[in-house]
Amino acid sequence: MPHFCHTEKEFYFPPVADADEEGLLLIGGKVTSARVLEAYQKGIFPWYSEEELPLWWSPDPRFVLFPDELHISRSMEKVISKKNFEFTVDCAFEEVINACATTNRNGQNGTWITIEMKEAYTQLFYEGYAHSAEAWKDGELVGGMYGIKLGNVFFGESMFHKITNASKFVFIKFVQQLKQEGVQLMDCQVYTNHVESLGGRLIDRVEYLKYLHPKSP
């Protein structure tokens, strides 16, 4: 059953096993850069809309992508080989997060990327934890994604595209780069058809947590 935080003074993250069937663990508390880092380290993430109190989640099962299991369709191989897009990392973080917040999505009214969330993740970018990946065409930002890297795990937050295949392109290129950097798992948090088509799958939360706290050899 989810916990409720009445005041900042009493804020703490309860055990993830206390989350309800949908994964909701905690209601309330201010979203700050330090608190977001603590949450990720415990397998928790914030996700809520502007008119709600902050909601903290730890779903079971968890939707993830293993870089070794990245699926690139033949059509995307052609897109990449044609060099229709230019790929960069950490060149336009604030533009990417703003685009993710303002992009219209099917079945979604408004945005969960609130002003408070933007401030926290932008601070984490300047602290070296948050990163963005960008797709450019003719000098224009046409796709991107952002998230946080901790150890061997990358926590994907959101992505956007302005033209067809831009988000798939940037996702594929970024996963390939993260693999080269030693990332073993991309946390995609909740299921989407889009990421499943690229190799995403569900795993038990217990298995997922092992990647956050690997045992020393």
Q: Convert the pLDDT of each residue in 54-87 to its tens digit.
A: 999 999 999 999 999 999 999 999 999 999 899 9
pLDDT at 215 over 80: no
Average pLDDT score, the chain:
92
Q: Is the pLDDT assigned to residue 216 strictly greater than 50?
A: no
Listed in order, the ranges of the chain carrying CATH 3.30.70.3550 are 3-61
Instruction: Tell me which fold the domain 3-61 belongs to.
Output: Alpha-Beta Plaits (3.30.70)
pLDDT digit string, tens, across residues 98-149: 999 987 655 444 457 889 999 999 999 999 999 999 999 999 999 999 999 9
Distance CA 99, CA 141 (A): 9
- Specify the pTM: 0.92
What would you report as the CA-atom Rg of the chain, rounded to the nearest whole angstrom?
17
**Residue whose entry in the numeric block shows the structure tokens 């690139």:** 72
| CATH class of the domain whose range is 63-212 | alpha beta
> CA-CA distance, 83 to 177, in Å (whole number)?
17
Domain with CATH 3.40.630.70 in the chain: 63-212
Alpha-carbon gap, residue 192 to 66, rounded angstroms: 15
